[in-house]
Amino acid sequence: MTNTSHTSGLIAHLDVAPEVAEALFAGQPVVALESTIISHGFPYPAGVECALEAEKNVRDNGATPATIAILNGRLKVGLSAEQIEYLATAGSAGVAKASRRDIGVLVARGADGATTVAGTMLVASLAGIRVFATGGIGGVHRGAQTSFDVSADLLELAATDVCVVCAGAKSILDIGLTLEVLETHGVPVLGYRTDDFPAFYARTSGFGVDARFDSAADIAAVLRARRELGLRGGTLVANPITAEHAIDPGVLDGWTTTALAEADAAGVHGKDITPFLLARLHELSGGATEQANKELVYSNARLAALVAAAL
């Protein structure tokens, strides 16, 4: 098992599913997947559907999926269908959002947690998984100049050697400042077949990427070079949502402005704001954003599998 390289304390808290452990031991490609999308990202049963379909897309493109969560205080790397169902039915009321700061508390309490981008990156790294597919990363929230609301995802990208394949940053964020923070921390932002940084539901944000690559093999070459050079931290791969599932940026910005104003009026902030805003966008769009969200997750899962295989 790959966990033998870790300390006995870590092994005591880490459960790697047999399928995932065998793939890692054999040097076969593995892709990590997050679990907040199951419990907090979609209403039931859409979270189950999205998680299982994302795993299928990873398998269909030559890699082993490893959905990550915390259950009864155990760091789970690879979930069963029953565990995915549990996370979805327990939902946000029964399962905590687990970022880096929360993991020690949840383990100590023997509690359940659905891992965010930052939390998934951390656990994936502990298990020896180098590629992770998600929907979109967190970032600098609008108005952060006064609220100082900056996602832990950005600092995790700066610290943890995992490649994160995403559809850019969520459109509810200040994308310009998000990219500035990534630049400050030396995180390369690579565009997959695009020169423009995507904005989750929209293919473009008005901001560029650091470098464009048109194949998974070329992205893998960057990851390999960074590791050989001993460069610290993660790599962000921006994979735009497919054109047929994208939402017009102007329409999306109008919905986002409305949702942000409602969040402010309701006093929603901190880790509660993203689920609130995504739920309101779903309502304002008549469900269009939910379908777009699923499709971009599947697309990212496919690309992450190809990158992992190329490594």
115 lies in the same domain as 179: no
**Structural domain ending residue among the three candidates 129, 155, 174:** 129
pLDDT of residue 141 exceeding 50: yes
Determine the pLDDT at residue 2. Answer: 43
Determine the pLDDT at residue 10. Answer: 58
Q: Which of 216, 219, 121 is nearest to 161 (CA)?
A: 121
Using 50, 70 and 90 to split pLDDT, how confident is the model at 147? confident
pLDDT of residue 7 exceeding 70: no
Domain span at 76: 1-129
Q: Report helix, strand or coil for 276.
A: helix
Per residue in 212-241, pLDDT (tens digit) is: 999 999 999 999 999 999 999 999 999 999
**Structural domain ending residue among the three candidates 107, 129, 151:** 129
Q: Answer yes or no: are the C-beta atoms of 305 and 219 closer than 8 Å.
A: no
Q: Show the 3-state SS of 13-50.
A: CEEECHHHHHHHHCCCCEEEECCHHHHHHCCCCHHHHH
28 lies in the same domain as 63: yes
Alpha-carbon distance of 183 to 191, in angstroms, equals 15
User: Domain total for the chain?
Assistant: 2
**Active site (catalytic) residues:** 34, 170
113 lies in the same domain as 157: no
pLDDT of residue 3 exceeding 80: no
36 lies in the same domain as 185: no
CATH of the domain at 111: 3.40.1790.10
156 lies in the same domain as 302: yes
185 lies in the same domain as 103: no
pLDDT of residue 1 exceeding 70: no
Per residue in 151-195, pLDDT (tens digit) is: 999 999 999 999 999 999 987 899 999 999 999 999 999 999 999
pLDDT of residue 106 exceeding 90: yes
Per residue in 43-102, pLDDT (tens digit) is: 899 999 999 999 999 999 999 999 999 999 999 999 999 999 999 999 888 999 999 999
Q: Answer yes or no: are the C-beta atoms of 34 and 115 closer than 8 Å.
A: yes
41 lies in the same domain as 71: yes
49 lies in the same domain as 185: no
Specify the DSSP element, H or E, that contains 132: strand 131-133
143 lies in the same domain as 119: no
